[in-house]
Structure 1
Amino acid sequence: MTLPYAEVIGDPIAQSKSPVIHKFWLEKLGIAGDYRKTHITADGLEAFFRERAADPAWKGCNVTVPHKQAVIRFVEDRGGVGDSIGAMNTVIRLDDGTLIGTNTDAAGFYGPIADLDLAGRDVVVIGAGGAARAVLFALSRAAVGEVTILNRTRETGVELLRHFGLKGKVLPLDAPIPPAALIVNASTLGMTGAPDFDPDLSDQPDDCVVYDIVYAPLQTALLAEAEAQGLETVDGLAMLIGQAAVAFELFFDREPPRLFDEELRKLLTA
């Protein structure tokens, strides 16, 4: 009998730490199952989902860059995720082979900052891709003030502000970052193999929180600069573990044992 399994797909995929997280939880709970990482290009998405839909052992997958928007056309969207967030990072397989897409990024992103009072306060978001969509969706529910998006393409950022009903503006990536209560890097900038993102944060208020969703490396240039300025930071593992926890329960029908988060973080940073 083939063990039940899930996986993470992307292009590239070597940097993914998702298998470490899910295998850690499977072992802690004594579940006989597996979690893998699979390199899939954009051209291979359709064939991938067709093959997995026919495999009863497959529980689903997480989706990372650059496929979070492309997967929408290959799965059912029963929760209206395509219209609301506009990106999916999780696909689950039902017993009849139906594939359902959803998004656990928004909850994973917001969990570590849920105690912040962002109502009416300005926020800066770097990037306008699939992860940024989840971030902006969560921020739109937090009644934030103006949102400044830094992105290469102004039109994309403007459309995202409109889509999520947010007031704000779009600036180039190299523009000075305006003072904000929260700065979120929702792009791949700073990731291993990508250009660094090392802005000047000297004008930020003392209570500004800097949140970088990049986790490879864990200490990005952005977070290093924030710490040098004495600002509070949130690293990429916080969101990674948070979104994985929601996905794990969807895949394996068990809540992950979050009491071991510190042990898991040490494992991920070893």
Structure 2
Amino acid sequence: MRFAAPIDNPIEITTAQYAAILGATPSKGARSPLLWNAAFKAAGIDAVMHPMDTRPEALGAVVAALKADPRYVGGAVAVPHKQAVGAFLDRQEPEAARIGAVNAIYRDGDALVGANTDGAGALSQIEALVGGADALRTRRATLIGLGGAGLAVAAYLAGRTASLTLANRTRATADAASQKLGAIAVDYPLSPEVLEATNLLVNATTIGHPDGPEGAPVAENLLSTLPEDAAVYDVIYQPRPTPLLAAAQALGLATLDGLGMNLDQAVIAFDKAVPGALSAERIREAMRAV
């Protein structure tokens, strides 16, 4: 049966169930279908993820068609629909509502629910970096960069650390996010006083990268003031290690990049769409093999 809603790449639905990634042109190389299809196969589920090239003016009609079709279990949301899609869903998870963006959808009975698994994926990785959720609660975290990814990570760190400080080139952005999340806003670049009080630094900017506006030397200047027990997490994962993490490693600091976040956000989203089909580790194994 051909999917009837107005998408730009007509598709046939031939499986008992299906997922979808909604975006401008996911049919031109989105990775999510590869990951989800590997997990569906590992779980023995007759389902595939379809890329659906969706124009902004058609988004509401596409979501309505997905909601009306019980075969649809959920899926992913890509640029440029992450902020707009929430208006067409029945509800959003609290973190997604606080972030103001949805990158995953799952079905709850007749309702479609929006989630943001970017932040959840980063949280699981940061917990692994510092030694678990209990250890994270003792960390004084500072996050720099409040674009889409930074806001998502900040929302999931809020309330889970001893303190959360947010910085952004545009101070007004940090002020607004801090007020919304109950965090502390500071100026950027960070002052030595802020860095000395930080033992978890989370980077969601291009700082330390040669193609970034600050350049590589800033990475070393930034890190040199951190305590010896500090951990550094970089949302960016190319190249490996990133210049920021290479500088951190040279100082003997614990580090982790965002590659696991990229995978874990898909693992978490799949588990929300088909809960209990596979353990998180089995989903991860299947997706990692792609």
TM norm. shorter chain > 0.5? yes
Instruction: Note the residue ranges of structure 1 that are not aligned, 5 or more in a row.
Output: none
Of 42, 45, 49, which residue of structure 2 is paired with 1:28?
42
Is 2:278 the counterpart of 1:255? yes
* Rg larger in structure: 2
Q: Gapped runs of 5+ residues in structure 2?
A: 1-12
Give me the whole-angstrom Cα distance separating, in 2, the residues matched to 1:255 and 1:231: 35
Match of 1:225 in 2: 247
Displacement of 1:163: 0.7
TM-fit CA distance, 1:159: 0.6
Deviation at 1:240, TM superposition (A): 2.5
Aligned residue type for 2:60: E
Corresponding residue for residue 90 of structure 2: 76
Partner SS for 1:141 = coil
Q: Which of 126, 138, 159 does residue 176 from structure 2 map onto?
A: 159
| Displacement of 1:48 | 3.5
Distance 1:53 1:64, change over 3 A: same
Distance in 2 (alpha carbons) for counterparts of 1:257 and 1:108: 12
Give the match for residue 2 of structure 1. Answer: 14
Relative to the length of structure 2, the TM-score reads 0.72
Q: Name the count of aligned residue pairs.
A: 261
* Distance across 2 between alignment mates of 1:95 and 1:66: 27
1:122 to 133, 140, 152: 140
Aligned residues of 1:77 and 1:100 also touching (Cα < 8 A): yes
CA distance in 1, matches of 2:237, 2:25: 14
Per-residue deviation, 1:165: 0.7
Q: Going by fraction, where is helix more abundant, 1 or 2?
A: 2
Q: Does 1:206 align with 2:228?
A: yes
- Aligned identity (percent) is 33
The 3-state SS of whatever aligns with 1:178 is helix
AA partner of residue 127 (structure 1)? G
- Relative to the length of structure 1, the TM-score reads 0.76
RMSD, matched Cα: 3.5
Pairwise CA distance, 1:161 = 0.6
Question: Which residue does the alignment assign to 1:235?
Answer: 257
8 Å CA contact 1:81–1:87 kept in 2: the answer is no
Deviations 1:184-240 (A, max 9, x none): 2335x48xxx84774223333333222222345564333333334333222223222
